[in-house]
Amino acid sequence: MSPSPRSLRGVAALGLAAALGGVAACSPADNAGTTTGGDEGTTSVTVQIDGAAVPYYAPLYEAVEQGYFADQGLDVEFTYANGADIVQNVAAGNVDFGFPNGDSVITAYGSGVRTNVVHTTYQKGIGALLFANDSGIETPADLEGRSVAVTDLGSPNYAQLQAMLDSADLTVDDIDLRTIGTGAIVQALQSGEVDAIVFSRLRYFALQNAGMDVGQILSDEYLPSFGNILVTSPDTVENTPEVVASFTAALDEALQYTIDHIDESTAMSIEKYAPTFEGQEDEISEVLRDVYAAELWQSADTEENGFGHGNLDRWQEAIDSQAEFELIDEAFDAADLVRDHRELDN
Protein backbone atom coordinates (compact mmCIF):
# COMPACT_ATOMS: atom_id res chain seq x y z
CA MET A 1 0.00 0.00 0.00
CA SER A 2 1.16 3.52 -0.73
CA PRO A 3 1.45 6.43 1.65
CA SER A 4 -1.27 8.74 2.87
CA PRO A 5 -2.63 11.52 0.60
CA ARG A 6 -0.34 14.08 2.23
CA SER A 7 2.73 12.25 0.93
CA LEU A 8 1.15 11.79 -2.46
CA ARG A 9 1.51 15.38 -3.56
CA GLY A 10 3.41 15.67 -6.82
CA VAL A 11 3.72 12.55 -8.88
CA ALA A 12 1.40 10.36 -6.83
CA ALA A 13 -1.14 12.97 -5.86
CA LEU A 14 -3.64 11.74 -8.39
CA GLY A 15 -3.21 8.07 -7.54
CA LEU A 16 -6.31 5.95 -7.31
CA ALA A 17 -7.63 5.47 -3.82
CA ALA A 18 -7.55 1.73 -4.29
CA ALA A 19 -3.77 2.00 -4.43
CA LEU A 20 -3.60 4.03 -1.25
CA GLY A 21 -2.64 2.31 1.94
CA GLY A 22 -5.08 2.52 4.78
CA VAL A 23 -5.46 2.04 8.47
CA ALA A 24 -9.17 1.94 9.28
CA ALA A 25 -10.22 5.36 10.46
CA CYS A 26 -13.34 7.43 10.71
CA SER A 27 -14.11 9.86 7.93
CA PRO A 28 -15.15 13.45 8.36
CA ALA A 29 -18.51 12.08 7.27
CA ASP A 30 -19.12 11.38 10.94
CA ASN A 31 -19.68 15.12 11.31
CA ALA A 32 -20.75 15.92 7.77
CA GLY A 33 -24.50 15.91 8.03
CA THR A 34 -25.55 12.28 8.32
CA THR A 35 -28.79 11.52 10.15
CA THR A 36 -28.24 11.06 13.87
CA GLY A 37 -27.95 7.34 14.61
CA GLY A 38 -30.84 5.99 16.62
CA ASP A 39 -33.51 8.26 15.12
CA GLU A 40 -36.78 6.42 14.78
CA GLY A 41 -36.92 4.71 11.39
CA THR A 42 -33.19 5.24 10.74
CA THR A 43 -30.83 2.31 10.13
CA SER A 44 -27.17 2.81 11.03
CA VAL A 45 -24.70 1.15 8.67
CA THR A 46 -20.95 1.21 8.22
CA VAL A 47 -19.19 1.09 4.85
CA GLN A 48 -15.46 0.38 4.73
CA ILE A 49 -13.72 2.04 1.79
CA ASP A 50 -10.52 0.97 0.06
CA GLY A 51 -7.49 3.06 0.96
CA ALA A 52 -8.03 6.52 2.40
CA ALA A 53 -10.32 9.53 2.02
CA VAL A 54 -9.68 10.92 -1.46
CA PRO A 55 -11.81 13.03 -3.82
CA TYR A 56 -12.37 10.13 -6.23
CA TYR A 57 -14.95 8.80 -3.77
CA ALA A 58 -17.08 11.89 -4.38
CA PRO A 59 -20.33 9.96 -5.06
CA LEU A 60 -20.22 8.33 -1.62
CA TYR A 61 -19.59 11.70 -0.02
CA GLU A 62 -22.34 13.34 -2.05
CA ALA A 63 -24.77 10.66 -0.90
CA VAL A 64 -24.23 12.11 2.57
CA GLU A 65 -24.04 15.77 1.64
CA GLN A 66 -27.10 15.77 -0.63
CA GLY A 67 -29.12 13.78 1.87
CA TYR A 68 -29.61 10.73 -0.35
CA PHE A 69 -28.67 8.30 2.40
CA ALA A 70 -30.89 10.13 4.87
CA ASP A 71 -33.79 10.08 2.41
CA GLN A 72 -33.41 6.30 2.31
CA GLY A 73 -33.47 6.09 6.10
CA LEU A 74 -29.76 5.37 6.47
CA ASP A 75 -27.21 6.78 8.89
CA VAL A 76 -23.90 5.93 7.19
CA GLU A 77 -20.43 5.89 8.74
CA PHE A 78 -17.28 5.66 6.61
CA THR A 79 -14.15 3.80 7.66
CA TYR A 80 -11.08 2.91 5.60
CA ALA A 81 -8.86 -0.15 5.18
CA ASN A 82 -7.02 -2.11 2.50
CA GLY A 83 -9.02 -4.21 0.06
CA ALA A 84 -8.22 -7.64 1.48
CA ASP A 85 -9.16 -6.55 5.01
CA ILE A 86 -12.38 -5.01 3.76
CA VAL A 87 -13.54 -8.27 2.20
CA GLN A 88 -12.68 -10.17 5.38
CA ASN A 89 -14.54 -7.64 7.53
CA VAL A 90 -17.65 -7.72 5.34
CA ALA A 91 -17.71 -11.52 5.25
CA ALA A 92 -17.34 -11.66 9.04
CA GLY A 93 -20.08 -9.11 9.62
CA ASN A 94 -17.74 -6.55 11.18
CA VAL A 95 -18.98 -3.91 8.71
CA ASP A 96 -22.19 -3.79 6.69
CA PHE A 97 -20.74 -2.81 3.32
CA GLY A 98 -17.35 -2.63 1.65
CA PHE A 99 -16.03 -0.66 -1.30
CA PRO A 100 -12.91 -2.60 -2.37
CA ASN A 101 -11.39 -3.33 -5.76
CA GLY A 102 -13.37 -5.98 -7.61
CA ASP A 103 -10.30 -8.10 -8.30
CA SER A 104 -9.67 -8.57 -4.57
CA VAL A 105 -13.27 -9.70 -4.11
CA ILE A 106 -12.86 -12.42 -6.75
CA THR A 107 -9.59 -13.59 -5.23
CA ALA A 108 -11.10 -13.75 -1.75
CA TYR A 109 -14.22 -15.57 -2.94
CA GLY A 110 -12.02 -18.13 -4.64
CA SER A 111 -10.31 -18.67 -1.28
CA GLY A 112 -13.58 -19.23 0.56
CA VAL A 113 -14.22 -15.68 1.82
CA ARG A 114 -17.81 -15.18 0.70
CA THR A 115 -19.34 -11.79 -0.08
CA ASN A 116 -21.85 -10.59 -2.67
CA VAL A 117 -21.27 -7.80 -5.16
CA VAL A 118 -24.44 -5.69 -5.07
CA HIS A 119 -23.27 -2.69 -7.14
CA THR A 120 -20.62 -2.83 -9.86
CA THR A 121 -19.81 0.84 -9.39
CA TYR A 122 -16.71 0.84 -11.59
CA GLN A 123 -17.58 -0.84 -14.86
CA LYS A 124 -13.93 -1.35 -15.79
CA GLY A 125 -10.65 -2.14 -14.14
CA ILE A 126 -8.11 0.58 -13.49
CA GLY A 127 -4.88 -1.26 -14.35
CA ALA A 128 -2.53 -0.09 -17.08
CA LEU A 129 0.90 -0.67 -18.51
CA LEU A 130 2.79 2.62 -18.11
CA PHE A 131 6.00 3.51 -19.95
CA ALA A 132 7.98 6.46 -21.26
CA ASN A 133 6.95 7.39 -24.77
CA ASP A 134 10.58 7.48 -25.89
CA SER A 135 11.07 3.87 -24.75
CA GLY A 136 9.91 2.41 -28.05
CA ILE A 137 7.07 0.54 -26.36
CA GLU A 138 3.82 0.75 -28.31
CA THR A 139 2.25 -2.70 -27.96
CA PRO A 140 2.67 -5.67 -25.59
CA ALA A 141 4.93 -7.29 -28.19
CA ASP A 142 7.47 -4.53 -27.51
CA LEU A 143 7.93 -5.75 -23.93
CA GLU A 144 10.16 -8.63 -25.04
CA GLY A 145 13.51 -8.27 -23.29
CA ARG A 146 12.35 -5.22 -21.32
CA SER A 147 12.25 -4.70 -17.57
CA VAL A 148 8.67 -4.60 -16.31
CA ALA A 149 7.62 -4.17 -12.68
CA VAL A 150 4.55 -5.19 -10.72
CA THR A 151 3.95 -4.76 -7.00
CA ASP A 152 3.36 -8.42 -6.21
CA LEU A 153 3.25 -11.75 -8.03
CA GLY A 154 -0.11 -12.42 -6.40
CA SER A 155 -1.63 -9.14 -7.53
CA PRO A 156 -4.25 -8.60 -10.24
CA ASN A 157 -1.70 -6.41 -12.04
CA TYR A 158 0.51 -9.47 -12.47
CA ALA A 159 -2.38 -11.36 -14.08
CA GLN A 160 -3.00 -8.34 -16.31
CA LEU A 161 0.63 -8.35 -17.39
CA GLN A 162 0.44 -12.05 -18.21
CA ALA A 163 -2.69 -11.46 -20.32
CA MET A 164 -0.97 -8.67 -22.23
CA LEU A 165 2.06 -10.83 -22.89
CA ASP A 166 -0.13 -13.76 -23.94
CA SER A 167 -1.77 -11.56 -26.58
CA ALA A 168 1.68 -11.23 -28.17
CA ASP A 169 2.59 -14.92 -27.76
CA LEU A 170 4.98 -14.00 -24.96
CA THR A 171 5.31 -15.10 -21.34
CA VAL A 172 6.98 -13.62 -18.28
CA ASP A 173 10.05 -15.64 -19.23
CA ASP A 174 10.46 -13.29 -22.20
CA ILE A 175 10.80 -10.15 -20.05
CA ASP A 176 12.89 -8.97 -17.12
CA LEU A 177 10.18 -9.21 -14.46
CA ARG A 178 10.66 -7.27 -11.24
CA THR A 179 8.61 -6.71 -8.10
CA ILE A 180 8.68 -3.25 -6.55
CA GLY A 181 6.52 -2.05 -3.67
CA THR A 182 3.57 0.26 -4.14
CA GLY A 183 5.39 3.20 -2.60
CA ALA A 184 8.34 3.00 -5.01
CA ILE A 185 7.04 1.55 -8.28
CA VAL A 186 6.09 4.87 -9.88
CA GLN A 187 9.42 6.42 -8.97
CA ALA A 188 11.17 3.39 -10.50
CA LEU A 189 9.55 4.22 -13.83
CA GLN A 190 10.36 7.91 -13.53
CA SER A 191 14.01 7.26 -12.78
CA GLY A 192 14.43 4.76 -15.59
CA GLU A 193 15.09 1.89 -13.21
CA VAL A 194 12.52 -0.11 -15.20
CA ASP A 195 11.14 0.26 -18.70
CA ALA A 196 7.50 -0.19 -17.74
CA ILE A 197 5.18 -0.85 -14.82
CA VAL A 198 1.72 -2.36 -14.52
CA PHE A 199 -0.15 -0.25 -12.00
CA SER A 200 -3.10 2.14 -11.66
CA ARG A 201 -4.04 3.93 -14.88
CA LEU A 202 -4.54 7.11 -12.87
CA ARG A 203 -0.81 7.39 -12.34
CA TYR A 204 -0.71 8.24 -16.05
CA PHE A 205 -2.26 11.62 -15.25
CA ALA A 206 -0.04 12.15 -12.23
CA LEU A 207 3.06 11.45 -14.28
CA GLN A 208 1.88 13.77 -17.02
CA ASN A 209 1.32 16.53 -14.46
CA ALA A 210 4.82 15.87 -13.13
CA GLY A 211 6.23 16.55 -16.60
CA MET A 212 6.91 13.00 -17.79
CA ASP A 213 6.06 12.11 -21.39
CA VAL A 214 4.26 8.90 -20.52
CA GLY A 215 2.26 6.38 -22.52
CA GLN A 216 -0.20 3.74 -21.39
CA ILE A 217 -1.91 0.55 -22.54
CA LEU A 218 -5.08 -0.20 -20.58
CA SER A 219 -5.13 -3.65 -19.00
CA ASP A 220 -8.88 -3.98 -19.34
CA GLU A 221 -8.47 -4.41 -23.09
CA TYR A 222 -6.71 -7.73 -22.40
CA LEU A 223 -8.18 -8.92 -19.11
CA PRO A 224 -11.67 -7.84 -17.98
CA SER A 225 -11.61 -6.55 -14.42
CA PHE A 226 -13.35 -4.07 -12.16
CA GLY A 227 -12.30 -1.17 -9.99
CA ASN A 228 -14.16 -0.32 -6.80
CA ILE A 229 -17.46 -2.10 -6.29
CA LEU A 230 -19.95 -2.38 -3.42
CA VAL A 231 -20.07 -5.64 -1.49
CA THR A 232 -22.05 -6.92 1.44
CA SER A 233 -22.44 -10.29 3.14
CA PRO A 234 -24.77 -12.99 1.84
CA ASP A 235 -26.54 -12.78 5.22
CA THR A 236 -27.30 -9.10 4.65
CA VAL A 237 -28.64 -9.82 1.17
CA GLU A 238 -30.82 -12.60 2.54
CA ASN A 239 -32.04 -11.02 5.79
CA THR A 240 -32.12 -7.25 5.13
CA PRO A 241 -32.39 -6.79 1.36
CA GLU A 242 -34.22 -3.51 1.90
CA VAL A 243 -31.07 -2.03 3.45
CA VAL A 244 -29.04 -3.07 0.40
CA ALA A 245 -31.66 -1.63 -1.93
CA SER A 246 -31.75 1.64 0.03
CA PHE A 247 -27.97 2.02 0.02
CA THR A 248 -27.63 1.35 -3.71
CA ALA A 249 -30.54 3.64 -4.55
CA ALA A 250 -28.83 6.48 -2.69
CA LEU A 251 -25.53 5.70 -4.40
CA ASP A 252 -27.20 5.79 -7.81
CA GLU A 253 -28.62 9.23 -7.09
CA ALA A 254 -25.23 10.43 -5.88
CA LEU A 255 -23.47 9.13 -8.98
CA GLN A 256 -25.80 11.10 -11.22
CA TYR A 257 -25.43 14.22 -9.08
CA THR A 258 -21.64 13.96 -9.17
CA ILE A 259 -21.60 13.50 -12.95
CA ASP A 260 -23.79 16.57 -13.32
CA HIS A 261 -21.72 18.65 -10.86
CA ILE A 262 -18.13 17.47 -11.24
CA ASP A 263 -16.43 20.70 -10.19
CA GLU A 264 -18.70 21.29 -7.22
CA SER A 265 -18.38 17.68 -6.05
CA THR A 266 -14.61 17.84 -6.33
CA ALA A 267 -14.44 21.02 -4.28
CA MET A 268 -16.79 19.62 -1.63
CA SER A 269 -14.90 16.33 -1.35
CA ILE A 270 -11.58 18.10 -0.88
CA GLU A 271 -12.94 20.64 1.59
CA LYS A 272 -14.86 18.22 3.81
CA TYR A 273 -13.23 14.82 3.33
CA ALA A 274 -9.78 15.08 1.74
CA PRO A 275 -8.27 18.47 2.61
CA THR A 276 -4.72 17.33 1.82
CA PHE A 277 -5.71 17.58 -1.87
CA GLU A 278 -6.33 21.32 -1.60
CA GLY A 279 -4.93 23.13 -4.62
CA GLN A 280 -5.44 20.15 -6.96
CA GLU A 281 -9.11 20.80 -7.71
CA ASP A 282 -8.66 21.40 -11.44
CA GLU A 283 -6.57 18.28 -12.03
CA ILE A 284 -8.88 16.05 -10.01
CA SER A 285 -11.99 17.44 -11.72
CA GLU A 286 -10.40 16.59 -15.05
CA VAL A 287 -9.76 13.00 -14.01
CA LEU A 288 -13.26 12.61 -12.57
CA ARG A 289 -14.79 13.99 -15.76
CA ASP A 290 -12.60 12.24 -18.34
CA VAL A 291 -12.07 8.88 -16.64
CA TYR A 292 -14.56 8.24 -13.88
CA ALA A 293 -17.68 9.79 -15.40
CA ALA A 294 -16.81 8.90 -18.98
CA GLU A 295 -15.49 5.36 -18.59
CA LEU A 296 -15.67 3.91 -15.07
CA TRP A 297 -19.07 4.86 -13.68
CA GLN A 298 -20.86 4.63 -17.03
CA SER A 299 -20.90 2.08 -19.83
CA ALA A 300 -23.21 0.63 -22.46
CA ASP A 301 -24.48 -1.66 -19.70
CA THR A 302 -25.35 1.20 -17.36
CA GLU A 303 -27.05 3.10 -20.17
CA GLU A 304 -29.38 0.15 -20.60
CA ASN A 305 -29.68 -1.08 -17.02
CA GLY A 306 -28.69 1.80 -14.73
CA PHE A 307 -25.68 2.54 -12.54
CA GLY A 308 -23.92 -0.37 -10.90
CA HIS A 309 -25.12 -3.03 -13.32
CA GLY A 310 -23.10 -6.21 -13.03
CA ASN A 311 -22.55 -7.80 -16.42
CA LEU A 312 -22.29 -11.48 -15.52
CA ASP A 313 -20.43 -12.36 -18.71
CA ARG A 314 -17.67 -9.83 -17.93
CA TRP A 315 -17.54 -10.96 -14.31
CA GLN A 316 -17.23 -14.56 -15.47
CA GLU A 317 -14.35 -13.63 -17.76
CA ALA A 318 -12.59 -11.94 -14.85
CA ILE A 319 -13.15 -14.99 -12.63
CA ASP A 320 -11.99 -17.43 -15.30
CA SER A 321 -8.88 -15.32 -15.93
CA GLN A 322 -7.90 -15.40 -12.26
CA ALA A 323 -8.16 -19.17 -12.39
CA GLU A 324 -6.16 -19.32 -15.63
CA PHE A 325 -3.35 -17.25 -14.15
CA GLU A 326 -3.51 -19.17 -10.84
CA LEU A 327 -4.65 -16.35 -8.57
CA ILE A 328 -7.45 -18.70 -7.48
CA ASP A 329 -7.50 -22.50 -7.50
CA GLU A 330 -10.57 -22.86 -9.69
CA ALA A 331 -13.25 -20.77 -11.34
CA PHE A 332 -16.74 -20.38 -9.90
CA ASP A 333 -20.10 -19.16 -11.19
CA ALA A 334 -20.31 -15.36 -11.39
CA ALA A 335 -24.00 -15.54 -10.49
CA ASP A 336 -23.01 -16.84 -7.06
CA LEU A 337 -20.96 -13.70 -6.46
CA VAL A 338 -22.89 -10.91 -8.20
CA ARG A 339 -26.43 -9.96 -7.22
CA ASP A 340 -28.69 -7.51 -9.06
CA HIS A 341 -29.47 -4.81 -6.52
CA ARG A 342 -32.54 -3.77 -8.49
CA GLU A 343 -34.13 -7.11 -7.79
CA LEU A 344 -33.88 -6.56 -4.04
CA ASP A 345 -36.84 -5.10 -2.14
CA ASN A 346 -36.74 -1.41 -1.30
pLDDT on residue 13: 34
Helix/strand/coil for 169: coil
pLDDT on residue 327: 86
Contact by Cβ (8 Å): 332, 109: yes
Instruction: Judge residue 278's burial from the number of C-beta atoms within 10 Å of its C-beta, 0-12 exposed, 13-18 middle, 19 or more buried.
Output: exposed
Strand order in the sheet with 43-50: 74-81, 43-50, 97-99, 230-232, 116-119
Which long-range CB contacts under 8 A does 263-268 form with residues at least 24 apart?
265/58, 265/59, 265/61, 265/62, 266/55, 266/58, 268/58, 268/61, 268/62, 268/65
**Measured distance CA(233)–CA(268) in Å, rounded:** 31
16-48 confidence digits (pLDDT tens): 333 333 333 333 333 333 233 445 689 999 999
Q: Where are the domains of the chain?
A: 5-124+226-339, 127-221
For the chain (346 residues), the mean pLDDT of every run of 10, in chain order, is: 31 34 34 41 95 95 98 97 92 97 94 97 95 97 98 87 96 97 93 96 88 95 92 97 97 98 98 96 95 96 97 95 90 97 77
CA-based nearest residue to 224, from 103, 325, 337, 339: 103
**Measured distance CA(3)–CA(11) in Å, rounded:** 12
Kindly report the CA angle at 85 between 81 and 91, in degrees rounded to 5?
Answer: 125
208-246 confidence digits (pLDDT tens): 888 999 999 999 989 889 999 999 999 999 999 999 999
pLDDT on residue 9: 29
Distance of CA 163 to the CA centre of its chain: 20
pLDDT on residue 345: 66
Domains 5-124+226-339 and 127-221 share a fold: yes
What's the pTM value of the predicted model, to 2 decimals? 0.83
pLDDT on residue 282: 94
Question: The domain at 127-221 falls in which architecture?
Answer: 3-Layer(aba) Sandwich (3.40)
Q: Among the CATH numbers 3.40.640.10, 3.40.190.10, 3.40.50.2000, 3.40.109.10, which is that of 5-124+226-339? A: 3.40.190.10
Instruction: Judge residue 5's burial from the number of C-beta atoms within 10 Å of its C-beta, 0-12 exposed, 13-18 middle, 19 or more buried.
Output: buried
